[in-house]
């Protein structure tokens, strides 16, 4: 496995313009939230002032409790104990509890977080920076996480959904026997099968299963896992939750930013609600206010104002942040410097900056997660034979295909020459026509448009004809595209990490770690 190439996110058409502008520091008010040495140093200072010794003690106690029954590595022990020290900070990523980690980018974002922590520890040896993985245990959309895909199979598990997914217990484990059948003969297949069996043992919660997976894969790197579905952690959010219930604080404080992003980029990733909280029982339901009472949506539960505030005071664990409030929760309970997330995550984090300022909470450095692509050597050879580069597969591929099919096409050459002449002649006529009456000039321009449209139609028909004539070549191109983009999507969003781990084991993780440059937002292409 070796690096073949890398493509900056700035050069990839499908990367959202907001992300590109953010990276280029073109988004108003966010120039100091892009990762660089100066900004991260400032972040150290901000978080040191904000995060109290009481919070450190609580974080230590919570993590210690959550790791009961788990054997920590030496690096994890060091990182956990360092949480009590004033010079300790975190860098964080988070994700849903996807079955067996889900798509491979789950792995990449964790490795990038670990690499960032290691880099900050190297550059600031007088401080401790700890990598943290935040488990999204309170999400309720089980259908989003109950599956994963390999090159050959689709795996799925079933469970009663509707509540916090982290609390769902493993009961349906049929997918394990299917997985065993696929991977039993792979070099590291047995290791993967044993890992899956250990994580998804009947009676384990999905939160525990995910913790086991992450622990087995990343304990040696010192990564700490935190579960936000915790009464002690939630107790630190009582004031923020209270203000959210009574004053619609998040909605009101984000209006200007949401308006700016909507006007500039067409939409926002997540629209704030009037109340950005859920109520947790056996299910997870939104909280709404009808002018008189607080209603727990899709239930018969209602609370008067004082009743709900009393419930919050006594049972903060029953209140769950939505997608926009969760980042606030995270930054409240962690001495966090930076968050590493996917493009969609970064875009909704950007909506929150004014809320953080209003509530005196340090807004973190935001870092788009890197992407990795593994391409077989034989496919790289095929790409060369077509006269293409891997970069071409991240452009408008219809346009790339068109260029190949019409390469050195004599008819196209003639059409282009004639079109150029028509353009030139009509420009000459138009210049003279301007000296006569206006209606004649309009006629000339209309005729020019008509004739140019004819050229456009002929080129389209030519392309269609060449697709038929060169059908075999077209099919090979399309097949190659699907090798790079399985299911017409980025590889990392489709295949599970097991596809790559099966042949290389832990060495694959280490190779990915080595290739990540924390200062670059890019797609890394590796040959296998």
Q: How far apart are CA 178 and CA 361, in angstroms?
A: 47
Q: Do 140 and 164 contact (CB within 8 A), yes or no?
A: yes
Mean pLDDT by groups of 10 residues along the chain of 528 residues: 92 96 95 96 95 96 97 97 94 98 98 98 96 96 96 94 93 95 97 98 97 98 97 97 96 95 92 96 95 95 97 97 97 98 96 95 97 96 91 88 77 77 81 73 82 81 75 86 94 98 97 97 96
Q: Do 215 and 312 contact (CB within 8 A), yes or no?
A: no
Q: How far apart are CA 389 and CA 478, in angstroms?
A: 15
| Sign, Cα dihedral of 243, 246, 251, 254 | negative
Q: What are phi and psi of 322, to 5 degrees?
A: -85, -170
Cα angle 528-404-421, degrees, rounded to a multiple of 5: 155
Cβ neighbour number for residue 413 with a 10 Å cutoff:
11
Complete DSSP assignment for 228-267: S--HHHHHTTHHHHHHHHHH-HHHHHHHHHHHHHHHHHS-
End-to-end CA distance of the chain: 5
Q: Do 509 and 107 contact (CB within 8 A), yes or no?
A: yes
Q: What are phi and psi of 214, to 5 degrees?
A: -65, -40
Name residue 103's beta-bridge partners. 496
Tell me how far CA of residue 472 lies from CA of 392, 396, 408, 429, 475, in angstroms: 20, 21, 18, 45, 5
Please, what's the largest Cα pairwise distance for the chain? Answer: 92
Please name the helix (run of DSSP H) or strand (run of DSSP E) that holds residue 191, with its range, or none. Answer: helix 189-199
* CB burial string 303-331: b at 16+ within 10 A, e below: beeeebbeebeeebeebbbbebbbbbbbb
Alpha carbons within 13 angstroms on the beta-carbon side of residue 161 total 10
The confidence score (pLDDT) of residue 415 equals: 67
Please name the helix (run of DSSP H) or strand (run of DSSP E) that holds residue 421, with its range, or none. Answer: helix 410-433
- The angle, 0 to 180 degrees and rounded to 10, between the axes of the packed helices 189-199 and 206-218 is 140
Q: How far apart are CA 359 and CA 220, in angstroms?
A: 37
């Amino acid at each position: 496995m070796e690096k073949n190439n890398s493509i900056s996110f700035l050069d990839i058409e499908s990367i959202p313009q907001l992300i590109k502008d953010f990276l280029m520091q073109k988004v108003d008010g966010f120039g100091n939230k892009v990762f660089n040495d100066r900004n991260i140093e400032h972040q150290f200072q901000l978080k040191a002032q904000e995060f109290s010794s009481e919070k450190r003690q609580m974080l230590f106690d919570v993590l210690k409790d959550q790791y009961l029954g788990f054997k920590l590595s030496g690096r994890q022990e060091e990182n956990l104990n360092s949480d009590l020290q004033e010079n300790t900070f975190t860098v964080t990523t988070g994700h849903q509890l996807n079955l067996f980690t889900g798509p491979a980018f789950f792995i990449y974002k964790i490795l990038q977080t670990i690499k960032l922590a290691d880099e900050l520890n190297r550059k600031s040896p007088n401080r401790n920076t700890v990598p943290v993985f935040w488990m999204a245990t309170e999400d309720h959309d089980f259908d989003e996480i109950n599956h994963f895909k390999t090159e050959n199979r689709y795996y799925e598990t079933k469970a009663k959904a509707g509540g916090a997914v982290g609390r769902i217990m493993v009961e349906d484990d049929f997918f394990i026997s299917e997985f065993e059948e696929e991977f039993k003969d792979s070099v590291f297949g047995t290791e993967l099968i044993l890992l899956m069996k250990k994580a998804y043992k009947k009676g384990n919660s999905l939160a525990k299963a995910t913790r086991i997976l992450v622990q087995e894969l990343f304990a040696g790197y010192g990564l700490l896992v935190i579960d936000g579905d915790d009464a002690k952690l939630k107790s630190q959010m009582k004031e923020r939750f209270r203000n959210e219930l009574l004053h619609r604080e998040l909605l009101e404080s984000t209006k200007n930013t949401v308006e700016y992003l909507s006007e500039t980029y067409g939409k926002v990733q997540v629209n704030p609600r009037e109340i950005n909280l859920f109520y947790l029982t056996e299910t997870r339901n939104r909280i709404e206010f009808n002018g008189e009472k607080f209603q727990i949506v899709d239930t018969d539960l209602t609370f008067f104002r004082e009743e709900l505030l009393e419930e919050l005071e006594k049972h903060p664990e029953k209140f769950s942040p939505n997608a926009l409030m969760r980042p606030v929760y995270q930054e409240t309970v962690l001495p966090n410097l930076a968050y590493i997330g996917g493009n969609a995550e970064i875009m909704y984090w950007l909506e929150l900056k004014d809320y953080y300022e209003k509530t005196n909470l340090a807004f973190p450095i935001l870092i788009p997660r890197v992407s990795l692509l593994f391409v077989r050597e034989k496919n790289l050879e095929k790409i060369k034979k077509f006269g293409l580069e891997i970069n071409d597969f991240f452009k408008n591929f219809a346009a790339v295909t068109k260029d190949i099919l019409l390469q050195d096409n004599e008819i196209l050459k003639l059409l282009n020459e004639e079109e150029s002449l028509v353009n030139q002649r009509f420009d000459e006529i138009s210049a003279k026509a301007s000296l006569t009456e206006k209606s004649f000039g309009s006629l000339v321009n209309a005729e020019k448009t008509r004739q140019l449209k004819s050229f456009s139609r002929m080129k389209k028909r030519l392309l269609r004809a060449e697709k038929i004539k060169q059908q075999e070549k077209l099919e090979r191109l399309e097949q190659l595209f699907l090798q790079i983009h399985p299911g017409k999507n980025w590889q990392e969003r489709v295949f599970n990490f097991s596809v790559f781990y099966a042949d290389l084991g832990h060495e694959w993780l280490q190779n990915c770690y080595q290739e990540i440059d924390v200062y670059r937002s890019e797609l890394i292409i590796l040959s296998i």
